[in-house]
Amino acid sequence: MIRQRLIFYGRVQGVGFRYRARYAAMDLDLTGWVKNNYDGSVEMEVQGDRENITKMIQSISKGRFLKVTGLDRTDIPLKEDERDFRVEYY
């Protein structure tokens, strides 16, 4: 199990990105959160199996109206008590 901080760049706000992420996370048994940043990027912390995190990224990056032009990935410490994946707001 791993936890990663992901920052997505491109046309990722106003296109349903966060909700696609939430549903993909729920389907893949991932935990964490996702939120819009003021600079137009979307930030996410996601925890679970490395393969499922990769599947989630691939799934949400295929949205019809969104376009991911960049992605920063950083491994961060696990949060043992986290149980769900949520959409957060500024």
pTM exceeds 0.75 = yes
Residue 90: per-residue pLDDT: 67
Provide block-wise average pLDDT over 10 residues at a time, the chain (90 residues).
97 94 97 97 97 96 90 97 92
Residue 51: per-residue pLDDT: 98
**Domain residues for 47?**
2-70
Number of domains the chain contains? 1
Q: Is residue 82 part of a domain?
A: no
- CATH number of the domain that 38 lies in? 3.30.70.100
| Longest CA span, the chain | 35
* Interatomic CA distance for residues 13 and 9, integer angstroms: 9
Residue 75: per-residue pLDDT: 97
Residue 39 structure tokens: 């600079």
Residue 63: per-residue pLDDT: 77
Residue 62: per-residue pLDDT: 84
Query: Catalytic residues, which ones?
Result: 18, 36
